[in-house]
Amino acid sequence: MTQINLDELSHLQAINKKLVTGYHISEQDTVMWQELDQQIDHYRALFSALGHDLQHDSRGFYYFASDESTPNMGKISRAIALTIYILIEHYANSGKDPMRALFDEVNDLELMQTLVQMNKHLFDQLEIFSGSDLRKDVYLRMIRLGLAREVEGGFMLQAPIYRYIDALMEVNEETYVEEDE
């Protein structure tokens, strides 16, 4: 068993507080991310003993894996996934490299309004009727989960968004397999 010196885990309280709320600690959370990166074995052992599964994604973020899904979290996840999917489609239709634009472009209120208007039938199902609703119900939640950060003029997506992209790709692959059968 790994010996853990809690004195060496100087940001344990802050890291634990973030992770248990579903937050993804990424490289932009410099101090916490560096400590996790340097003390990963100790944190994994400690969190495992507490019943948590600390995951490190090589694309630059840490999070607790969870099998628990509440109906509310399901709605939030669906809204985030839909927004990511529509953003990728929007950037591709605009002639931009969608993956690059996803992380390089500022998502401002005007873009949010455009996305909602162009995909009204989809967003209506999630009770998102305007760019302001999208900002409040999706982007501000993305900040609380460490998926985005607020910048001047809007929001920038962060590396943990890859969890949603991976899930979208998985659904897409399953759809093609089902169509082939």
The pLDDT tens digits of the residues spanning 76-98 come to 899 999 999 999 999 999 999 99
Query: Three-state SS for 55?
Result: strand
pLDDT value at residue 1: 54
pLDDT bin (cut points 50, 70, 90) of residue 71 is low
Are the beta carbons of 54 and 43 closer than 8 angstroms?
A: yes
Which tops the pLDDT comparison, 168 or 115? 115
- Least Cα distance to 62 among 98, 38, 80 occurs for 38
Full DSSP string of 104-158: HS-B-HHHHHHHHHHTHHHHHHTT--SHHHHIIIIIHHHHHTTSEEEETTEEEE-
pLDDT value at residue 176: 59
- Least Cα distance to 115 among 151, 85, 143 occurs for 85
- Least Cα distance to 161 among 115, 101, 94 occurs for 101
CA-to-CA distance for 128 and 43, rounded, in angstroms? 39
- Set out the domains of the chain in order of their start, with CATH numbers: 6-65 (1.10.10), 75-177 (no CATH)
**Cβ-based neighbours of 173, under 8 Å, separated by 6 or more:** none
CA-to-CA distance for 154 and 111, rounded, in angstroms? 10
Question: What does the pLDDT average to over 17-38?
Answer: 96
138-171: pLDDT as tens digits: 999 999 999 999 999 999 999 999 999 998 888 7
Flag the least confident range among 70-74, 108-112, 141-145: 70-74
Burial tier of 43 (Cβ tally within 10 Å: 0-12, 13-18, 19+): buried
